[in-house]
């Protein structure tokens, strides 16, 4: 279920509001890619825009394991992608589910 939500957000370049693991408040996250790891964990990577629990953690690249999300919902805000992002980076392997499309 969360996989579909992340892929929809990626297609539309929309931020998501997430609660991860033990979070008590929602983070704002810009998802860039959903992929399977070599250990068969479904993960999402992207830019963490805001984490109220850690105010200094702003605009940081983060990787999350999808099954640890307690809630995921689409935000009204959108994001612009960083053109340095490379979905073909070897860390994502050949098991990419969806990723932001880069227009040159």
Cβ-proximal residues to 24 (8 Å cutoff; 6+ apart), any chain = 53
Q: Is residue 95 part of a domain?
A: yes
Q: Is residue 104 part of a domain?
A: no
Q: Retrieve residue 93's tokens.
A: 């392997």
Mean pLDDT of 74-94: 90
pLDDT of residue 104: 53
Instruction: Look up the pTM and report it.
Output: 0.91
pLDDT at 103 over 70: no
CA distance 104 to 88: 16
pLDDT of residue 56: 78
pLDDT level of residue 5 (50, 70, 90 thresholds): very high
Q: Is residue 73 part of a domain?
A: yes
Segments forming the whole domain that contains residue 88: 2-99
Q: In the chain, how many domains are there? A: 1
CA distance 9 to 1: 13
């Amino acid at each position: 279920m969360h996989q579909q939500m992340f892929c929809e957000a990626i297609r539309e370049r929309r931020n998501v509001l997430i609660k991860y693991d033990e979070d008590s408040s929602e983070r704002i996250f810009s998802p860039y890619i959903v992929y399977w790891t070599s250990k068969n964990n479904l993960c999402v990577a992207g830019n963490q825009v805001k984490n109220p629990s850690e105010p200094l953690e702003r605009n940081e690249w983060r990787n999350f394991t999808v099954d640890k999300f307690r809630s995921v919902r689409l935000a009204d805000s959108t994001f612009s992608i960083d053109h340095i992002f490379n979905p073909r980076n070897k860390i994502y392997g050949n098991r990419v589910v969806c990723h932001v499309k880069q227009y040159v």
